[in-house]
Structures are given as structure tokens and as C-alpha cells.
Structure 1
Amino acid sequence: FDWGEKEENAFQLIKQKLCSTPILALPKGSKDFVVYYDASHKGLGAVLMQREKVIAYASRQLKIHEKKYTTHDLELGSVVFALKIWRHYLYGTKCIVFTDHKSLQHILDQKEFNMRQRRWLELLSDYDYDIRYHPGKAT
């Protein structure tokens, strides 16, 4: 592990942003929304941002049956969780969803889906979103 000037500057910036007010910003208009999310075998977490300002955080533990999901389904379920919870911000507007699960960018290119994926993709069809890859250590 290498801790250089770049890492120290990033750490100081995070400390400053977390300690200064306001931590959360109010949305300005209905454009430029970005969702970052992540899933683990313990829970789901997401951040809604607009123009590099945090609008909201959301997280929850996995339900018992969700702990059996494949990684692909967990990641897709996280997108559904985030878009549903912030529906009042995101419905009817274009947003970008960043994932650290590279294959999720191509979810709509799959030829076959399980029933859970079909249900979730039907729900996601209500939204105007673009899934983009963002390396895991950055999300």
C-alpha cells in the first residue's frame, strides 16, 4: 500500500467535505443526476449526486433470501433499489448510473433473463438511465 501526496490530498478533501456544511445539497432542477451504488454480500449502498454535490445517501442490509443472489443479480438489484428510492428525483429525467460490475453495462444485450431479472428490467424501463462502468475502488 502506497500513501503518497495524491492520496493525502484526496483524504484531506474528503475530510473537509464531510466536516463542512452543508453535507447534503438540494437538487437544482431535474438534470445532471448521477447515481453511484455498490453491493456486497451484506448490504446495498447508493449515493445520488447532481453536479458533483451529494443530494442523498441510501443503504440497507440484504434480506436473507437476497444473500443467495448471484453477484450479477445483486448488482442489478442495487440499481433497482437506488432508482426506486429516488424515483421522485429521477422519474422523467435522464440519469447516469455508475457500476463497478463491468458486465452490468451490457445487461440489455443478454439473450436470456431469469424471472427476477425480467421483473427488474420491466421496472427499470420506466427510467431514462445510462449504465457506465467505474472501477470498484473509485465507487
Structure 2
Amino acid sequence: MEAIKNWNAPKTPTEVRQFLGVAGYYRRFIESFSKIALPLTVLMQKDKKFECSNKQEAVFQLLKQKLYSAPILSLPEGTDDFVVYSDASHQGLGCVLMQKDKVIAYVSRQLKTHEKNYTTHDLELEAVVFALKIWRHYLYGTKCTICTDHKSLQHIFDQKDLNMRQRRWIELLNDYDCNIRYHPGKANVVADALSRKERTKTLRNESLQGLDKQFEIKIDGTRYFANRVWVPNFGNLRRLVTDEAHKVCAFLAYEGN
């Protein structure tokens, strides 16, 4: 639920597509979904400049509200028929808990620095472990099904050559009565979108941090970017500086002759 509530407004066509992928998966629960989402679908058109208006922002917020309000998110009924959909990208983990085709909860998080070195197999296994830990109060002591788009996890309990980290996770899995099933990525759209949302957020933060490190203001007030003088884009300041530079170059060339 928090993952949906904290979903930032899309800034690119790709982010719009990710969000509508999640919303569209549960369109049968949202009355007049196509009509409501129409202003957002326009943002994905290749022949138009991406401009998110106040109307489109309002549509985004409305769809978010409908995603985490009844009947989208439901309280669990008993302790049977729980299904976990898990997915991992190279920047985040995403999971959805369902019961009898109703969504009980969403969850996602970014990868920690050391986790970015994990193999795809380990990331997918960690997504399963992440879900079991988060929803232990729902899943411990009852039968549940875990759906993953990583085929080899179906046979994780039969694998012999495991590293220490995998063995530790297997011990945790053994505490649960869970059946791991292969579920193709295209069908696992919600968990996939949640995991990739974390990836997009991380990349944006890293890019901004990188720009901060390259920007510097000297004692005399001169601004530098990537060790070069940077002229702010105020009015026609850049044009004036460029014109002066051309005049100086022309004068020096004349003097040289």
C-alpha cells in the first residue's frame, strides 16, 4: 500500500507506461478505467512533447487513490489461499500479496549497495525472502503459493551447490509451507513494475548526485562545472559572454597578423 501511495508523478513516457501497467492490471476493479486514464495515455504518444498538465497530475492522483482504496486493497479472509507475486530488477525488489484474486498489500524497496552485485538468481530469491519477512504475520504457519518469473527458483530446494547466503535463505524458506511456481514476467506485471520503479528512482537520484559533485563555486564567486567555467542562463548573459569572447579572439588574430 505504501509503495502505491509513495509513487511519484511520472516524468517520462516510460514512467507513465509503468504506472498504467499496474493500474491496468486491476482495471476490472476501477469503474470507467479507460475514460479516467485517457489523459495519461496521451503522454505516451511518440509524436507529442511530454508535458504533464495539472489535469493529468489530478488523473494520476485519482488512479493512485483508487488503487489503494476498496475494493482494490482488501482485508484478508482467514489464512488460506495466499499468493505472493515477487520480482527483482538490478535496482529494486517488488512484491504483491493476493488472496482469492484480491490484492492485500504491495511492497517494494531499492537495493542496498552490496546487493547490486548479486546475480539475477540471487536477486529473485531475495525478493521471495523479502516478501516472506514482510508478510510473516500473514504467511507463517499457513500454506501459500509464491509466483516468480525466474524459472530456476522452482527447483531451489533440490539444488546442492549453494553459497552461504543462499543456504541462509533456504533455511528461512524451510520455516514456511510455500510452493514456488514459475509465472512469466509479462503476467507478473505488478511486481515487475514495482521493482523497476525503484530502479528508475535510484538512477534519477544517482544522476542528480553526480551533477552536484561536478558543480563547484570558487572563492571569487566563479562557478565551475566539470572543471570548466559555467555561465548561468540568466537573460542574455551567455550571449554577451560569447560575443565578447569572439571579439577578443578576432582582435588577437588581427594583432597576430
Same fold (TM over 0.5): yes
CA deviation string 1:45-94 (max 9, x = no partner): 00000000000011000000000000010011000000010000000000
State the partner residue of 2:215: none
Q: Which of residues 97, 104, 115 is equivalent to 1:48?
A: 97
Residue 75 in structure 1 maps to residue 124 in structure 2: yes
**SS of alignment partner, residue 24 of structure 1:** coil
Q: 1:12 to 1:34 in 2, by over 3 A?
A: closer
Distance 1:29 1:14, change over 3 A: same
Q: In structure 2, give the amino acid aligned to 1:114.
A: N
Q: How many Å apart are 1:14 and its aligned residue? A: 2.0
Consecutive unaligned residues in structure 2, runs of 5 or more: 1-22, 31-62, 189-257
Greater RCO (Cα-Cα under 8 Å, separation 6 or more): 1
Structure 1 58/128 Cα, relative in aligned 2: closer, same or farther at 3 Å? same
Distance 2:117 2:126 in 1: 12
Give the aligned length.
130
Q: Which has the higher helix share?
A: 2
Any idea what the Cα deviations from partners look like across 1:108-134, whole Å, max 9, x if unmatched? 111210000000001111100000001
Structure in which a larger fraction of residues adopt strand: 1
TM-score computed with the length of structure 1 as normaliser? 0.88
Secondary structure of 1:121 counterpart: helix
2:146 counterpart of 1:97: yes
Quote the sequence identity (%).
72
Q: Secondary structure at the match of 1:111?
A: coil
Q: What does 1:1-139 correspond to in 2, within 5 Å?
A: 11=24, 14=27, 16-17=29-30, 19=66, 21-22=69-70, 23-139=72-188
Give RMSD over aligned pairs. Answer: 1.8
Q: Aligned equivalents of 2:179 and 2:117: distance in 1? A: 27
